[in-house]
Chains A and B, each alone.
Chain A
Amino acid sequence: MAQTNLEKQINILDYALSSLWRRRMKSLNVLLVFAAVIFLLASFQMVTQALSDKAKQVLVYTPEITVQKMSAGRQEAIPLAYRDKLARIFGIRRVVPRIWGYYFDEVLLANYTVMGMDVEEMPEGSRLDTTLASGRMPTPDEQGRVVIGHSVKKALDLEGRTTFSFFRPDLSLKAFTVSGEFSRDTDILTNDLIVMNLADARDLYAIPAGMVTDLCVYVANPKEIDTIARKISEALPSVRVLTRPQIQKTYQVVFGWRSGFGSICLLSALAAFVILAWDKASGLSPEERREIAILKVLGWETSDILAVRFWESVIVSGLACILGITAAYIHVVYFAASLFRPVLMGWSVLRPDLHLLPRMAAGDILLILAFTVIPYLAATVIPAWRSATVPADSALGG
């Protein structure tokens, strides 16, 4: 009774499944190693995408243009008087002075980012007080009030109390009271951030009156950012002008560089796996060669033997993909990509406790499949093809 092609394919699939089961320890080992490689690649891809997305979301709170004074190639304080010069440039909506600095905690060996700004001066839509989980921003008149990021709260152990102190440059202590907390949604920017009013920041860093570190420029038409930045450079030759798109690009470059670095490491691991798979598969054991020869003698076509190998590889790599991508999703969502955080988040002690929402486009999945499944298929089917095309009489012996 002749079989239909479908029945034949079902028989081949059945044989492939039973073949995998017969070599279950070997199959399981390959599956686990393969799944681990895909897990690493998919995790990396998901977390890089999620971080880039997050950065894009929160960069809306950064000023459209930041102006800093430069001297000998280094940043120095900028006179508040520059504010008036900037205000005369057509297209600038508002100029907000800011003191931006870092405070190194010698006990915890952690750096906090300190921002002194009178938030009420910021335009609607860019105001940081919209990112608060609780409390409110300090007003220009309120002394010693701060809003802190999540990791600052944890590091300074501010669960049961609301006050802490930092040293001024002359080693006298300045006390602060927490008046609000940033939302976890903006952790990527606010995790290590302490926001206070301008007067407190000037006091903490002993910055002379009439000086700040940056001038934040908000423009009327965001499409004119580059034009206005050029005008500022022309009007104030000694300043550095940073635009929001440039900062966005910097984030992308940093994540891109870090993910590139990680990808190279992971691709090396992948290459090692493919070489291993090739070595294993091309070194078909005498039993496997004998099996192929017996099958040919019994009437199996070369294409049937390749189909068995193909289905075996598809089953192993398909399962490995499902396992690897699922594990990567769990790793990113439930464990906040803990394996890659040191690489992707930098080396700060106060790493954001991120809640990432992984995004994976069909193209990303196809890319992972292209880098994993195709080499594996080639590494298993080609050696089988080489064995299946030699004369089958080797099984007869004698």
Chain B
Amino acid sequence: MIIECKDLTKTYPVESTMVHAVNTVNLSINKGDFLVILGHSGSGKTTLLSLIGGLTAPNSGQVFIDGVENWQQSDRALSTMRNSKIGFIFQFASLIPTLSVMENILLPLSFGQNPAGSRDLALDILDQVGLADKANAFPSQLSGGQQRRVAIARSFINCPDIILADEPTGDLDEETEKDILGLFRRYNEQGTTFVVVTHNSDLAATQKGARVFSMRQGVLSAQGA
């Protein structure tokens, strides 16, 4: 089991009451799984991704990545885990505007491998997302969809075991969306685990054997494959 959530709960104070963004979620994900979590805005999908990725601490419950509990680790170990095992695709492009496309993509390698030696890999991934000619461009010179594709390329640069993707095809046109989902499928077939949260209920159909869940008011429920 690569990811395991046990009684995971996250609450936020809203005015005088506590809102359950994630409410007692139990989830087991095996290596190579492709999970699609459907839900409306505010249903708690993004918070669940943050909890799995160790970006925010739960109020109660546990998240295990490869058998290690996220919040029992030091800041260093948690950072190393995020850097080496997880690729994040944010809901918004989240590129650093003053870095070029290539520099943004190589950013996760700063502490893992020699970034200079990984330029060929970065160019290959850029080619796969259709932006090989934009390596030296800056984010401000790209459209929203192109920025999203750069962020997707960045999430693959460390060859992570897990991809956590938040609305990965939100800004993409139909053709590009198809290419990106094809890319996901190829990586998934090679063993990469995907947890994708989306509004797009058709996305699950593009991935072979995807496990589909829905989320409403912080409660996760399985919909079947």
Contact = CB atoms under 8 A, between A and B. Distances in A.
State which size class the interface on B falls in. 35 or more
A169 interface: no
B15 interface: no
B67 to A, nearest CB: 19
A11 B111 contact: yes
Nearest to A23: B98
Interface string A286-304: 0100110011111111111
A8 interface: yes
Contacts of B115: 11
Interface in B162-220: 166-167
Contacts of B166: 396, 398
A272 to B, nearest CB: 29
A285 to B, nearest CB: 11
Interface in B42-70: 46-47, 49-50, 53, 55-57
Interface string A367-398: 00000000000000000000000011101111
B72 interface: no
Interface in A119-142: none
A297 B82 contact: yes
Interface centre among B83, B95, B98, B110 (most CB of A within 10 A): B110
B26 interface: no
A22 interface: yes
A1 interface: yes
B113 A299 contact: no
A3 interface: yes
Contact of B75 (A11, A298, A301): A301
Contacts, number: 96
Contacts of B103: 18
Given A300-B79, A396-B49, A397-B90, A294 B111 contact: no
Contacts of B88: 297-298, 396
B110 A393 contact: no
Nearest to A15: B110
B94 A395 contact: yes
A16 to B, nearest CB: 11
A302 B74 CA distance: 11
B96 A291 contact: yes
A396 B91 contact: yes
A303 B111 contact: no
Nearest to A290: B94
Contacts of A396: 46, 49-50, 55, 88, 90-92, 94, 166
A68 to B, nearest CB: 72
A284 to B, nearest CB: 14
Nearest to B51: A393
A298 B107 contact: yes
Contacts of A15: 110
B215 to A, nearest CB: 13
A392 B55 contact: yes
A314 B83 CA distance: 27
A386 B47 CA distance: 22
A300 B84 CA distance: 11
A393 B47 CA distance: 8
Contacts of B110: 11-12, 15, 300
B125 to A, nearest CB: 15
A156 to B, nearest CB: 64
Nearest to B88: A297
B1 to A, nearest CB: 22
A393 B56 contact: yes
Nearest to A391: B56
26 contacts: A11-B111, A12-B110, A15-B110, A291-B96, A294-B94, A294-B96, A294-B107, A296-B55, A297-B53, A297-B55, A298-B154, A299-B83, A299-B84, A299-B108, A299-B112, A304-B79, A391-B57, A392-B56, A393-B50, A393-B56, A395-B90, A395-B94, A397-B91, A397-B94, A398-B41, A398-B166
Given A8-B111, A304-B111, A397-B90, 8 more contacts: A2-B112, A291-B96, A294-B94, A298-B88, A299-B83, A396-B50, A396-B91, A396-B92
Interface of A: 1-3, 7-8, 11-12, 15, 18, 22-23, 287, 290-291, 294-304, 391-393, 395-398
